Amino acid sequence: MNSAKNAPPPAKLTAPMGLKHRNTLGLDCMAESAYEITASDQLPSLIRTLEEQKRTWRVLGGGSNVILPKQLDGATLLMNISGQEIIHADEKNTLLAVGAGVNWHELVAWTLEQDLPGLENLALIPGTVGAAPIQNIGAYGVEVGQYIDHIEAFDSVAQAFVTLSQEACQFAYRDSYLKQHPTRFIVTKVVFQIPKAWQARIHYADLAKYFADQESKLNAEQIFTAVCKIRMQKLPDPKVIGNAGSFFHNPVVAQEQHAALIAQFPDLVSYADAMGKRKLAAGWLIDQCGFKGKQIGPVGVYEKQALVLVNHGGASAADILELASLIQYQVKEKFGVQLTIEPSIL
């Protein structure tokens, strides 16, 4: 327990606070009150008080995977805990403790500067370190869960700090135990385990193509640069056009359903799934329904990647969700497959 002398200052309160610049879709949103969380010790008394006052609350990281309403009632906890340090190193692994508010991409770049390769395939994913385990962020054949040793979080049900091992987090495709229990856990720190042994992973089509003519041995910096270049070409920059990255999960179907679909749609794009099922490319399904590049009012489907919905300016959550449900309906009609929305609807 901290003595009063060492206790952190209480979380800074701003009421109300506009969140347009803290969500990558660029939706206009007014939070009734926002608390800036800069130290984990601020949480117990704050959560106790909010619950005593029967006020709703939620955590916001970088806002790159959320759909915000015009008005967010109650308290919004802005996760700004900083700090990153190597806490252990032996001949096999390095353990890295990182505050939940650290920017994800900056962490990936920093690990390479420290000669700790492993996270390079996950470069340029927006958002914070604390949100990364929530949906087990992944890209180019790598998921963050495989590098997480454990997580430190405030459990709002137990009203206590807890440590969740990698196993307890139950990481799966864009999913985790934390995601299954929204608003129960506030992630304050993530401890990564980076193995000393390193291997390039360039089996995903875009990366394999990028390095097709490469004859010498690759290093992690080259993969980091390639991932950044490919992402900048394919995905819209939220600073230029509002978006939340992939808007739908790639649906996972049984082999039998996949076989039936292939018989009807021979060009169907799909990938093998770790559980022996097939993961369908949701972007391809949406494209086949004619949505790529379409604009409906202030929202649309990105012209280079049908999986990304964009805010052309002035859109609301309702506009985005209306387009999303039209896409879901047409994909279901054509392919018999249900698309699930990826961002959290707050």
Ligand X SMILES: Cc1cc2nc3c(=O)[nH]c(=O)nc-3n(C[C@H](O)[C@H](O)[C@H](O)COP(=O)(O)OP(=O)(O)OC[C@H]3O[C@@H](n4cnc5c(N)ncnc54)[C@H](O)[C@@H]3O)c2cc1C
Please give the positions annotated as active site: 174, 246, 342
Closest approach of ligand X to the CB of residue 213, in Å = 25
Contact between 63 and ligand X (CB under 6 A)? yes
Q: Is 176 in the site for ligand X (CB under 6 A)?
A: no
Question: Applying CB under 6 A, which part among 52-60, 260-268, 277-285, 294-302 lies near ligand X?
Answer: 52-60
* Cβ-based burial of 321 (10 A; exposed 0-12, middle 13-18, buried ≥19): middle
The yes or no reply on residue 66 touching ligand X (CB under 6 A) is yes
Tell me the sheet residues that pair with 34: 14, 76
Which value, to the nearest 10 degrees, does the dihedral of the CA atoms of residues 29, 34, 37, 43 take? Answer: -120
Whichever of 243 and 250 has its CB closer to ligand X, that residue is 243
Contact with ligand X (CB under 6 A) among 11, 39, 47, 79: 79
Is 235 a binding residue for ligand X by CB under 6 A? The answer is yes
Q: Which residues contact 244 (CB under 8 A, 6 or more apart)?
A: 24, 25, 64, 65, 66, 67, 308, 309, 342, 343
59 binds ligand X (CB under 6 A): yes
Alpha helix stretches (DSSP H) within 84-195: 104-113, 166-169, 177-180
Per rule CB under 6 A, is residue 311 in the interface with ligand X? no
Size, binding site for ligand X by CB under 6 A: 33
Q: H-type helices in 53-133, by residue range?
A: 104-113
**Residues 105-134 as x/- pattern, contact with ligand X by CB under 6 A:** --------------------xxxx-xxx-x
284 φ/ψ angles, rounded to the nearest 5 degrees: -65, -45
Least Cα distance to 340 among 298, 299, 265, 285 occurs for 285
Considering the complex, state which of residue 47 and residue 261 has its C-beta at the smaller distance from ligand X: 47
Give the residue from 143, 156, 144 showing the smallest Cα distance to 188: 156
Helix then strand then coil, % of the chain, to nearest 5: 30, 30, 45
Place of tokens 């996949």: 258
d(CA 311, CA 114): 38
Among 17, 39, 67, 187, contact with ligand X (rule: CB under 6 A)? 187
Binding ligand X (rule: CB under 6 A), the pick from 139, 227, 301, 307 is: 139
Q: Is 34 in the site for ligand X (CB under 6 A)?
A: no
Helix H or strand E encompassing 72: strand 71-79
Minimum CB distance to ligand X smaller for 24 or for 84: 24
- Does 164 bind ligand X (CB under 6 A)? Our answer is no
The amino acid at residue 156 is: S
Q: How far is the CB of 108 from ligand X (least distance, A)?
A: 12
Is residue 67 within the footprint of ligand X (CB under 6 A)?
no
Any contact of residue 58 with ligand X (CB under 6 A)?
A: yes
Asked if residue 100 binds ligand X (CB under 6 A), the reply is yes
Residue 99 sits in the site that holds ligand X (CB under 6 A) = no
Stretch that binds ligand X, among 56-64, 109-117, 158-166, 316-324 (CB under 6 A): 56-64
Nearer to ligand X, 244 or 327 (CB): 244
Do residues 22 and 36 lie in contact, with contact meaning Cβ atoms separated by under 8 Å? no
Distance, in Å, from the CA atom of 143 to the CA atom of 147, rounded to the nearest integer, reads 8
**317 to 69, 259, 322: CA distances (angstroms):** 6, 36, 8
* Chain residues that interact with ligand X, rule: CB under 6 A: 24, 58-66, 79, 100, 125-128, 130-132, 134-135, 137-139, 185-187, 235, 238, 243-245, 344
